[in-house]
Homo-oligomer: A and B are copies of this chain.
Amino acid sequence: MTLTQLRYLIAIADSGLNITLAAERVHATQPGLSKQLKQLEDELGFKLFTRKGKSLDAVTAAGAEVLERARIIHAESANIRALAANLRNEAHGELRIATTHTQARYALPLPIAALHSRYPDVGVHLQPGGDAEILQLLERGQADLAVTSSVGAAPASGFTLPAYRWRRVVLVPEDHALAKLDRPLTLADLAAYPLVSYESSLQPESSLRRAFEAQGLPLRLAFTARDADLIRTYVQAGLGVGVLAEMAVTGDDEGLRVLPIEDLLPVCTTWIVLRRNRVLRDYALEFIVQFAPHIDRRDVRRAFDHGVETAPWPEAPHWRDVVALRSAG
């Protein structure tokens, strides 16, 4: 059993049991992986995968056990390397961020640009996905950190830092009836129209859905997407009333009106999620303080390294104030 064999094993599992694809990903040849896999199976004395013909078909129960431990070993050896790289003040590497499209498009560009100017040799890889996918990427070690949002409490998995809070806004065409109201909007006003919003609104636990249900109002979704730009486009096209993150309205929306809705929907918090037991490269820490400037660098290190559960983070600022702070500083 070698570290290489375990790395290959993980690559095969993460490539959907396609050895050829796995070989590309680890920059090796396919026969090499085949052989190492065979050797590992021979040494352990049982098959890690079931075969259908010659192709791999599924992970065996024993294989899953081994895989679980192989991931730990792989993560820890990556930790040792990260530790070493930090100690040598290495300024190059990769930062893999799993996040939602909205964060990637509106909240991350500036912090990442700042990171890039300080660490020009660090490659940043954004891995967009839904909430579950994001956390899974982090869990499986395919992302270094996750940036995700929720209403209320932090996601259960990992070590979370509050980055900022934000509200949703309503977006309508300029000539829409709702734009002409001379009173604050109510949920009932919205319920009169089909809505255009995020894909996550389809889920039964979505906060939009729950807010409507709490008032006994029907929720009609005319269109959903992960992408705020698409939502905007389809609002322009007249499909319905848009409900989206305030970060996604930049003020230059031709022919659209932004209607604040304040307390109609609960406030959201965007979190940075890290995995305990994974060594943070210095530039990852740099990204964190760029993204959540109200958080002190040393507090993060301390809380993260010592496994403090109840890190007394200062209240996360509102998005507006983050933007104001940036344009001021």
Is the pair B1, A80 in contact by a Cβ cutoff of 8 Å? yes
Stretch from A16-24, A49-57, A71-79, A114-122 at the B interface: A71-79
Q: Chain B: which residue is nearest A81 at the CB level? A: B1
Q: Which A50-97 residues have a C-beta within 8 angstroms of B?
A: 62, 65-66, 69-70, 72-73, 76-77, 79-81, 83-84, 87-88
How many subunits of this chain does the assembly comprise? 2
- Report 14 cross-chain contacts, Cβ distance below 8 Å, ordered by A residue: A1-B3, A1-B81, A45-B88, A46-B87, A62-B83, A62-B87, A66-B83, A66-B84, A69-B76, A69-B80, A70-B80, A72-B76, A73-B77, A76-B76
- Judged by a CB distance under 8 angstroms, whether A203 is at the interface is no
- Judged by a CB distance under 8 angstroms, whether A222 is at the interface is no
- Judged by a CB distance under 8 angstroms, whether A44 is at the interface is yes
Q: Chain B: which residue is nearest A83 at the CB level? A: B65
- Judged by a CB distance under 8 angstroms, whether A215 is at the interface is no
- Judged by a CB distance under 8 angstroms, whether A327 is at the interface is no
Is the pair B1, A2 in contact by a Cβ cutoff of 8 Å? no
Is the pair B69, A79 in contact by a Cβ cutoff of 8 Å? yes
**Which among A44, A46, A69, A80 has the highest number of chain B CB atoms within 10 Å?**
A80
In the complex, what's the smallest C-beta–C-beta distance from A70 to chain B, in angstroms?
7
* Inter-chain contacts of A3 with B (CB < 8 A): 1-3
* Inter-chain contacts of A80 with B (CB < 8 A): 1, 44, 66, 69-70
* Inter-chain contacts of A43 with B (CB < 8 A): 84
Binary per-residue interface labels of chain A (224-254) against chain B in the complex, 1 for a CB within 8 Å, 0 otherwise: 0000000000000000000000000000000
